[in-house]
Amino acid sequence: MGSTNSTLSKIPNVEELVQETGFTPAHIVRLYDRFEALDKEKTGHLRPQDFGAINRLAINPIGDRIIGAFFSPGQETVDFHSFVRILAHFRPADKKRPKDPSMPEPVNSRTSKLKFAFQLYDQDKDGKISRAELLQVLRSMLEMQVTEEQLESIADRTIQEADLDTDDAISFEEFRKSLEKVNIDHKMSIRFLR
């Protein structure tokens, strides 16, 4: 446990992180180790290239979107805090959280998870997934295996199915509704082992 403590002391504002994200100090240490492993040049920040070096992201169809999600708009680097905050979205939800409307929505609640996913679709951040954005996602997921027409008809169909206010785009509420039968807690959580 000695090494954990020493690592903990290297990280600034650990208590704040713990509070905000709900990770335990042990989790944060592991994440810090990972952060350092990715940060090959030891600058204390991660740049897109560092993410790009991860093989598994490189072959992922939406890898570049995921990388983009880590960087706040306009920023070129990610510091450890932002890194942890983004990953906190994927922590399993706490069942026993009291529903306190005055407190801000915890970062790993169902809504926050869905919002995160929604933002990945909605690249221009206008609050809607337009047809073009949907097409882009479909294209990247289905790669070269389908024709343009098939893509377009799927996109049409998708929007038709989800779009309730007939504005030819999918808003966050419609997105949420179309996934109401999916157990998002399960689907969007990964295990952060101690």
Partner 1 sequence: MANYCSSSSMVDLWLTTAAAARQHVCFHLIPRLSGVVPESCLLIVVGLLVGGLIKVIGEEPPVLDSQLFFLCLLPPIILDAGYFLPIRPFTENVGTILVFAVIGTLWNAFFVGGLLYALCQIESVGLTSVDLLACLLFGSIVSAVDPVAVLAVFEKIHINELVHILVFGESLLNDAVTVVLYNLFEEFSKVGTVTVLDVFLGVVCFFVVSLGGVLVGAIYGILAAFTSRFTSHTRVIEPLFVFLYSYMAYLSSEMFHLSGIMALIACGVVMRPYVEANISHKSYTTIKYFLKMWSSVSETLIFIFLGVSTVAGPHAWNWTFVIVTVILCLVSRVLGVIGLTFIINKFRIVRLTKKDQFIVAYGGLRGAIAFSLGYLLSSNHQKRNLFLTAIITVIFFTVFVQGMTIRPLVELLAVKRKKESKPSINQEIHTEFLDHLLTGVEGVRGHYGHYHWKEKVNRFNKIYVKRWLIAGENFMEPELIAFYRKMELKQAIMLVESGQLPSALPSTVSMQNIQARATPRLSKKREEEIRRILRSNLQNNKQRMCSFSYSRHTLFDADEEDNVSQVHLRKMERRVSMMKGRMSHYLTVPADRESPRPGVRRVRFESNNQVFSADSVPTAHFEQPSTPRTPDAVSLEEEVPKRRNLKADGGGPRGTVSDSNQGELNYQRLARCLSDPGPNKVENYPFMS
Kindly list the residues in this chain that would bind partner 1 in the complex (CB under 8 A). 31, 34, 37-38, 51, 54-57, 60-63, 66, 70, 87, 90, 92, 95, 117, 120-121, 131, 137-138, 141-143, 145-150, 152-162, 166, 168, 175, 178-179, 181-183, 185-193
- In the bound state with partner 1, the residue whose beta carbon lies nearer, of 14 and 108, is 108
Cβ nearer to partner 1, comparing 3 with 102: 3
Task: Find, among 91, 45, 49, 48, the residue nearest to 69 by Cα.
Answer: 48
Among 21, 12, 7, 5, CA closest to 79? 12
For residue 134, the SS3 value is helix
Q: Least separation, in Å, of the C-beta of 90 and partner 1?
A: 5
For residue 33, CA distances in Å to 11, 28, 40, 118 come to 11, 9, 12, 29
Q: Which is nearer to partner 1, 20 or 70 (CB)?
A: 70
For residue 102, the minimal CB distance to partner 1 (Å) is 27
Neighbouring C-alpha atoms within 13 Å toward the C-beta of 41: 10
Least distance between partner 1 and beta carbon 73 (Å): 19
121 contacts 133 by C-beta, under 8 angstroms: yes
